[in-house]
Amino acid sequence: MTQQIFGNFQSRRLRRTRNQDFSRRLVRENTLTVDDLIYPVFVLPGVGRREAVESMPGIDRLSIDLLLIEAGELVQLGVPLIALFPVVDASQKTLMAEEAYNPQGLAQEAVRALKAAYPELGVMTDVALDPFTVHGQDGILDDNAYVLNDITTEVLVKQALSQAEAGADIVAPSDMMDGRIGAIRKALEEAGFINTQIMAYSAKYASNYYGPFRDAVGSAANLKGANKSTYQMDPANSDEALQEVAFDIEEGADSVMVKPGMPYLDVVRRVKDQFGVPTFAYQVSGEYAMHMAAIQNGWLKERETVLESLMCFKRAGADGILTYFAKRVATWLKEEQLAKYSDKKK
């Protein structure tokens, strides 16, 4: 950043450009558009099912038929990408997470349905085992409850391949196993899925902000108070995040992600400055829940606060944001466009 001194007060009044709306718009450094939004959704088995996520007001788990209706609305709003998170029945959870790569699994069926109905909508799938394990961890455990890296990676490769075969545009490994990006990329290339993108959860922290998400997918009860600190990153570290990102890029990731979002915007900025690759961030369930709690209590304005929060991601260098506010924000942005168009016609 330049250290040049521009001048003193009066010769350089910074408030001049803030005085009127036209000027503020002209010098605005970042903008938020619908193209920046990725909408995470929770998918249920069955038909005609809708379940509210109590810890995430306004967010529902949806069966595939209702998901298709939701997807149609997203297409109309111009949201480019949807991220799928399956909520599988407890009877399908095992120690080896076999359901994760079932060709007729819930995520795979949802992908096929979405791509058949709305081929223009991007579909991203979660590559991780926690929805499919009886213990709620993201991998295969040894006798000491330690997540085994290489065996887990073998299962993740099977899962990613099954999702690509179903038609996923992007597979997103969120497990944080070492070397899994290279193994998945190699398998995709060998199977002919050369255009299937990998969005790597490269800097995923062992955060306390994931609680509502674990409620939503049904893994919280399986964890039984355990944590994921042996494979997710220590919140105290940011240099390590750059190492993780560097490995994932070298191994074949098309884009990288920082998770959680707002508490880790410094990491987003460092990643973008260091590597200049497509960089995404996840405004996670806990962030959503905190915003909604304050909004519902009348402590914060909804529209203004949510839009500000997402602009912070853009300012930090994020190319896009996974956010549970995506549909709402896309609606607001469309309303703003229509209002401007209407004003021009008057």
Active site residues: 204, 259
Cβ-based burial of 96 (10 A; exposed 0-12, middle 13-18, buried ≥19): middle
CA distances from 162 to 6, 108, 148, 153, 213 (A): 57, 7, 21, 14, 24
Q: Which run of H or E residues covers position 214?
A: helix 211-217
Helix (H, G, I), strand (E, B) or coil at 312: helix
Q: Are 314 and 30 in contact (CB under 8 A)?
A: yes
User: Strands 147-148, 170-173: parallel, antiparallel or unpaired by DSSP?
Assistant: unpaired
Residues in the chain: 346
Cβ-based burial of 221 (10 A; exposed 0-12, middle 13-18, buried ≥19): exposed
What is the spatial distance between Cα 248 and Cα 182, in angstroms, rounded to a whole number? 7
What is the spatial distance between Cα 224 and Cα 300, in angstroms, rounded to a whole number? 34
Chain centroid to Cα 267, Å, comes to 16
What is the spatial distance between Cα 272 and Cα 309, in angstroms, rounded to a whole number? 19
Q: Are 30 and 24 in contact (CB under 8 A)?
A: no
